[in-house]
Amino acid sequence: MTGLRVTLVVPCYAEASRLTPAAFEDVLPSRPWLSFLFVDDGSRDATSGVLAALASARPGQVRVLSLATHAGKAEAVRAGVLEAARSQPDYVGFWDADLSAPLEAIDDFVALAGRRPDVDLVIGSRVNVMGRDIRRSPARHYVSRVFATAASLALDLPVYDTQCGAKLFRASADVLSVFAEPFRSRWIFDVELLDRYQRLPVGDGRAPRRARIYELVLPAWHEVPGSKLRAWDFVWSFIEVFGVWWRRR
């Protein structure tokens, strides 16, 4: 991977008690091509101190972007991607701070993108099949499956899992343009992201946009206690998915 540069945006809001700095540090020495951009989304706990210490420990591969006020995950990711793009990486993506998806899986994402130059978006997918270690509560699993079906119908896209917090994008001008404007939703911006990408011009001689999206089944995903999603957020997410469907009409 000589010359390759990958930046992962890690949105953080009040994550001081859930962050595991050592896990982020441990993956970096053997991956000189990888860097993290942590976005502190206006946290009021000790998150900023934890991130500052991590950046100090790995100054060449860890940076911190601090937002003045709490703007939500969608805006934290958007601001992070645009900031990461300034250093012109080959790929930019985002990863949930709780590391429910193991960081080592990024190797699979980068390898897939390298083998498939026709693919622009590699999105993680939590599929509990034999040989995979996917652990989540039954309630969240079934709600997520209903939501995923609704999102697939709204997007007219056979996507299994829009909401997995592990994604990698080719840092091309057209892909980055998807992040130019704020997302409508704080939580289901992943659905909006796929909708925006599908709306981009195809380009001469290139495959349809939907053919440039690849779902990569994660080797493991473990639900971590302390999610900031509440019951009303699930309800509102379905309303917002309906909005995506309506606008596509």
pLDDT digits (tens, 9 = 90+) for 110-128: 999 999 999 999 999 999 9
Q: Domains along the chain?
A: 6-248 (3.90.550.10)
Q: What is the pLDDT of residue 4?
A: 95
**Among candidates 92, 87, 88, 103, which has minimal Cα distance to 20?**
103
**Among candidates 78, 121, 148, 125, which has minimal Cα distance to 209?**
121
Assess whether pLDDT exceeds 90 at residue 134: yes
Least confident of 23-32, 203-212, 239-248: 239-248
- d(CA 200, CA 213) in angstroms, rounded, equals 13
Q: What is the CA radius of gyration of the chain?
A: 17
Per-residue confidence band for 234, with pLDDT thresholds at 50, 70 and 90: low
pLDDT digits (tens, 9 = 90+) for 51-98: 999 999 999 999 999 999 999 999 999 999 999 999 999 999 999 999
Query: pTM of the entire structure?
Result: 0.93
Per-residue confidence band for 144, with pLDDT thresholds at 50, 70 and 90: confident
Q: Which amino acid is at 104?
A: E
**Among candidates 157, 175, 174, which has minimal Cα distance to 244?**
157
Per-residue confidence band for 231, with pLDDT thresholds at 50, 70 and 90: low
Which residue did the predictor score with more confidence, 46 or 233?
46
How is residue 3 annotated by DSSP? T
Per-residue confidence band for 228, with pLDDT thresholds at 50, 70 and 90: low
Per-residue confidence band for 233, with pLDDT thresholds at 50, 70 and 90: low
Which residue did the predictor score with more confidence, 35 or 244?
35
The 10 Å Cβ neighbour count of residue 176 is 16
Q: What is the pLDDT of residue 2?
A: 65
- d(CA 51, CA 63) in angstroms, rounded, equals 8
Mean pLDDT, to the nearest integer, of 27-32? 97
Assess whether pLDDT exceeds 80 at residue 227: no
The full 3-state SS of 17-79, as one line of letters, equals: CCCCHHHHHHHCCCCCCEEEEEEEECCCCCHHHHHHHHHHHCCCCEEEEEECCCCCHHHHHHH
Which residue did the predictor score with more confidence, 170 or 203?
170
Q: Across the chain, what does the average pLDDT equal?
A: 92
**Among candidates 172, 171, 180, 153, which has minimal Cα distance to 244?**
153
Q: What is the pLDDT of residue 180?
A: 97
Per-residue confidence band for 247, with pLDDT thresholds at 50, 70 and 90: confident
